[in-house]
Amino acid sequence: MFSVQVAPLSRWPSRLAPWLASAYLALLTLMLPLSPLLASVMFGRLKFLRDYWGFVGRMRVHIAALREGPARHYFEDVMGRQSEVPAEIAGSCVQCGNCCMNKRCVFLEAIDKDRYQCGIYHSPLRRWSNCGSFPLHAHDIARYACPSYHVVKVVKVVRAAQVVDQRD
């Protein structure tokens, strides 16, 4: 008789994340020539198709940025919820664009000097991306040098166990 050791379910996302991220990045790379058409159809914005070569160039930069960790972060932390999520993150978006893969997201649009907005912000598909979860934890804030969000320090209160005096 043999026994099979199965990792706890909570460890599956961290074990599968590198494989899923690699498969996702390979698919994006293979679909690169179709990406302007697919983005135009998915997000209802013909500008991606009209600027075909510009979009393809920006998509190459986008894929390179995803290879630096956001793809794995998505499968490991966002989908798997493996990381420790702090009790509270405070702050608000100042539209700096840092969290958009350091201003390398293909959908990021400049609205002013040093201010950016997401070109697909109102899409229902956006909620399935990394974007909808930023910032998930302190690592997200540090990775993109976010100037406005911060983790609220949580102080653990340890209560002494009640001592029951049992005298006879």
- Give the global pTM: 0.77
pLDDT in tens, 50-99: 999 999 999 999 999 999 989 988 888 777 665 455 568 889 999 999 99
Rounded to 5 degrees, what are φ and ψ at 116? -135, 160
Q: Residue ranges per domain, the chain?
A: 9-151
Per DSSP (E only), the strands in the chain are 89-90, 108-112, 115-118, 150-151
Residue 120, CB-side half-sphere exposure with 13 Å CA sphere: 24
Q: Where does the pLDDT of residue 137 fall: very low under 50, low under 70, confident under 90, or very high at 90 and above?
A: confident
Cβ(137)–Cβ(84) under 8 Å?
yes
